[in-house]
Structure 1
Amino acid sequence: MTIPHHSVEHPILETARQQVLEQGIGLTETQLVDVLRLPDDALPAALDLAHQVRLRHCGEDVEVEGIVSIKTGGCPEDCHFCSQSGVFDSPVRGVWLDIPELVKAAKETAATGATEFCIVAAVRGPDVKLMNQIKFAIDRIRQEVDINIACSLGMLTRKQVDQLASWGVHRYNHNLETARSYFAHVVTTHTYEERLETCAMVKDAGMELCCGALIGMGETLEQRAELAAQLAALEPHEVPLNFLNPRPGTPLENQQVMDGKDALRAITAFRLAMPRTVLRYAGGRELTLGDLGTREGLLGGINAVIVGNYLTTLGRPASADLNLLVDLNMPIKELQKTL
C-alpha cells in the first residue's frame, strides 16, 4: 500500500481543523461520510490532522493492552464474523483456560509494559460458574501482578455489572460491532438494543466502557459513518477498531479483505468523530494494513494497541509493536493507580 507523497487540503478537512482540532467537537455523521469519501491524494493530510487531534485532545501516550480468553469457542450466538460461534462449522472448538495459565498470561502481558489485561469469554452472557471463576481469577492475578483488569463476558445483568465493579474490574468491553442499520445482517440471536443496555449499565456502575467496531463486513460507507456517530453518542472511554479477518466456516469467510486505504480513512473518521476517546488498534490490522499501514495509523489518530495474539487469530509479535512505538517516539502510558 502506497500513499501519495503530495497532499491537498480538502474542504471537509478545513472544517474538521476548526471544528475538531480547535474546538474539540466531533464531526457529524454527514461530515464523516465526506471523510470516508476523501480521494487518495487527500489521505496524508487527513491522517496528519487526525494525529494532531489525538495529540491535542488525548496527549502523546499510547496505551498497551493484552487479551486472553478464559473460554474459547462454543458460543451460542450467531455473529457472522466470529469463528467462536458454535452455530457455524468453524475449526474453533470450546476450550477453557485454567487459572494458573490466566495468571501466567497476565504476568507476560505486564512484562511487555502493558497496563491493561482483558479477560474474555465466548458466551452470550456469564452464568454463575463463570462469574465465580472470574472472581477467583481476578483475586489470583492481583496477588501476582500489578495491572488493570478488564473483562469481556457478553451481555450482563444489573447484578453481574455491580459484581464486576465491586471486584475492581477497571473496564468492560462490549462492542457494537456495526451500525444499527446493518446489525441484523451480522447478528440475529440478539439485538442492538440489548448491547446498548449492557453498555449503559457498565457506565452507570462507574466502570470504563470499551465499545468498539468491526469494519469491512460489507457495510456501506454511510453505515460506517453511522457507526462512528453512534459510538460517539455513547461516549465510551475506549473504542477498539477491528478490521474483518474472514474466518473459515463463518458466513463472512468469503468477504473480501478491506482495502488498506479505506481502513486508514476509517481510522481518520473515527478519530475526527471522537477527539478525546482512546482509539485502539485491534484485530485484523496485520492483514488489512501490514507493517506500513500500521505505522501510518499510529500517525493518524490511533493511541492504543493490543499487543500479541488475538482470541482466535495471530497478531504481530508484541516486540514489533513496542519497537515501532520507540521508533515513532511514542511513550507507553504508565499504570495509573486507581486505589
Structure 2
Amino acid sequence: MKKYIEQIKEKILQGGAITFEEALELMEIDEMDEDALAHFYSAANEIRKKYAGNKVDLCTIMNAKSGKCSEDCKYCAQSVHYTTGVDEYDLLNYDKVLERAMEMEKEGAHRFSLVTSGRGVDGEDFEKLLEIYSRLKQDTDLKICASHGIISYEQAMRLKDAGVSMYHHNVETSSTYYEEICTTHSYQDRIDTIQNVQKAGMELCCGGIIGMGESVEDRVKMAFEIKELGVKSIPVNILNPIKGTPLEDTETMMPVEALKTMALYRFVIPDCYIRYAGGRMLLGDLQEVGFRAGVNAALVGNYLTTIGSKIEDDIRIIRCEGLEV
C-alpha cells in the first residue's frame, strides 16, 4: 500500500489528478496498519505544502439566530421537527455581535461569520443583517463571512456590497445520499445557492458532514462533487449525534476514519483549505494528527449548538506542528 500511496502522491505533485477509483482504494487502508496510515498522512502533508503553503486559516462563527428551523435535516438540533432542548432566540442585536467579534479578533481569529437558523432569511431580518455586516467592516479588521441558508443572486450581491467576502453553504453529503438526510429542500436547492454566491463574486466555503451513515463511496463522491464546484474552503464536520434528532443513535465515527477522510480530501483537492469544523472534539488527542495529514484551517471557539476548542489551544498545536498562523 505504501508504494501505491507514493505513486498517487507523485502523480499529484507533478500536476496530475487522483481518480475516483484510486481515491476509493486509498480509503481502504486498514486502520490497524499504522505504517501505511502514517505514510498516507505524510503524503497528504506534502501535497498541502506544495499547493497550499504553510499558513493556517482560523475562522469563528456566532449563532445569531437559533432554533425554530422549518427544515428537517436529520442531524440538526435546531429543526422544529425534533425535540432537542436547544436554545431558541431571534436575531441578536449589533452590540452582542460586535462584542463577540472583537473577542474573537483579539484571540487570533481571521474570519468571523454569523449563522442563522432557517431555510433562508429575508425581510426585516435580512435588512438587519446587512446593517450588522456593514458596521462590522468598519469596527473590526476581521474578514466577514455569512451563513444564512438558501439565498438568491440578488441577496448574494447585497451581502457582498455590505462587506461579506465569503458565504458558507454546505452540500452536507453526496448528491446520491442527500435525500436520506433532508427532504424539505433538495440537493439542487443547495447547488443553486452555491452558484448564486459564485455569480455574485463572493468566495465560497462548502463542505459537509461525515459519519451520518453514508457509505465510503458517498464520502468520496462528496469530495469530487465539491471539487467540481471549484470550492477552495472545505469544512469537514464529524457527526456528533444529538439526542432528539433522527441520527441520535448513529454510531460515532472512529477517529482514524475521520482522519483518513481529511487526508483523502487533500489528495482530491490539493490547493484548498481543508478545515476542521464541528465534531472534531471527538478526535481527542488525535486532533493534532490532522495538521500533519493535510488539514490547514480550523473553525475555532464554540460552534452552533456544541462546544468547540479554545483558540489559544489550537494556535499552540498549529505552531507545534511547524505551521504558521
TM-score range, shorter chain: over 0.9
Match of 1:35?
Answer: 26
Q: Which moved more, 1:238-247 or 1:154-163?
A: 154-163
Kindly provide the CA deviation profile for residues 153-177 of structure 1, in whole angstroms up to 9, marking residues without a partner as x: 0001121111112112110000001
Local SS of the residue matching 1:95 = coil
- Residue correspondences, number: 321
Structure 1 residues 229 and 274, CA gap change in structure 2 (3 angstroms): same
Correspondent of 1:301 among 294, 299, 303: 294
The alpha-carbon deviation at position 10 of structure 1 amounts to 4.2
Moved over 4 A (4+): none
Distance 2:208 2:312 in 1: 25
Match of 1:183?
Answer: 178
Match of 2:6?
Answer: 14
Kindly provide the CA deviation profile for residues 138-187 of structure 1, in whole angstroms up to 9, marking residues without a partner as x: 12222321110000000011211111121121100000010011000000
Match of 2:41?
Answer: 47
Distance 2:102 2:17 in 1: 37
| TM-score for the superposition, normalised by structure 2 | 0.96
Distance 1:26 1:118 in 2: 32
Could you tell me whether the CA contact under 8 Å between 1:30 and 1:225 is conserved in 2? no
The alpha-carbon deviation at position 74 of structure 1 amounts to 1.0
Distance 2:149 2:287 in 1: 29
- The 5-angstrom pairing of residues 277-292 of structure 1 reads 277-287=272-282, 289-291=283-285
Unaligned runs of 5+ in 1: 1-7, 333-339
Kindly provide the CA deviation profile for residues 243-272 of structure 1, in whole angstroms up to 9, marking residues without a partner as x: 000011100001011001101110111111
Distance 1:27 1:243 in 2: 24
Unaligned runs of 5+ in 2: none
Match of 2:319?
Answer: 326
- The 5-angstrom pairing of residues 205-284 of structure 1 reads 205-284=200-279
| Identity among equivalent pairs (%) | 34
The alpha-carbon deviation at position 117 of structure 1 amounts to 0.4
Distance 1:175 1:43 in 2: 28
Match of 1:336?
Answer: none
Distance 1:231 1:323 in 2: 30
Q: RMSD of the TM alignment (CA)?
A: 1.2
Q: 1:125 aligned to 2:120?
A: yes
| TM-score for the superposition, normalised by structure 1 | 0.92
Aligned residue identity for 2:320: D
Q: 1:112 aligned to 2:104?
A: no
Distance 1:56 1:282 in 2: 23
